[in-house]
Amino acid sequence: MNEQLQLELTKIITNINSGVTTLWDFLGDQTPDIVSQLLMWYCTLSALWCIISVCLFILAIIAFIKLRRWAKGFVKQYKDDHNGYNGDSETAYVVPFVVIIVLGFLSLLSFSIEWLQILIAPKVWLLEYITTTAVSVTK
């Protein structure tokens, strides 16, 4: 019985060893493809966020210009209707202007050129990615 147990144990160890070897070979073969897909994914994601932030900034500028024109027309109409009254009519439009300026500023904060780093220096980006991932895994 001891011989049969050792024979079964040898089979199990051989199967585990061949499985690990197969897995190692598979990972070695797939690593370049995985790295290229990782680079492509993060490059695309970063470029998409960059495009969205630029579009938001342009929309904020357009909204600011349109709101300014509308406010000037409204204030002019208000002054004409109230015989040149020069009260708080102009300060009522400060809040929308501030909101639009904040939105434009936030869109600039979300602006990222990580995609450019991936295109120009992919090895540097990979090193940074590995170090940040390793730090987050160890925490």
Domain boundaries, the chain: 32-138
Split at pLDDT 50, 70, 90, the class of 40 is: very high
89 vs 83, higher pLDDT: 83
pLDDT of the residue at 44: 92
Residue 139 confidence class, pLDDT cut points 50, 70, 90 = low
Predicted pLDDT at 92: 58
Percent of the chain's residues with pLDDT above 70:
84
pLDDT averaged over the chain?
Answer: 79
Q: Which residues, 6 or more positions from 94, have their beta carbon under 8 angstroms from its beta carbon? A: none
Give the C-alpha distances (Å, rounded to integers) separating 25 from 8, 19, 36, 56, 130.
26, 10, 18, 47, 22
Contact 118, 39 (CB under 8 A): yes
Tally helices (H) and strands (E) across the chain.
4, 0
**In the numeric block, which tokens belong to residue 29?**
């073969």
Rounded Cα–Cα distance for residues 11 and 5 (Å): 10
* 19-23, 37-41, 52-56, 122-126, range with the lowest pLDDT: 19-23
> How far apart are the C-alpha atoms of 21 and 14, rounded to whole Å?
10
**Cα four-point dihedral sign 42, 48, 53, 54:** positive
pLDDT value, residue 115: 84
Q: Which residue has the higher pLDDT, 70 or 84?
A: 70
Question: Is 0.95 surpassed by the pTM of this model?
Answer: no
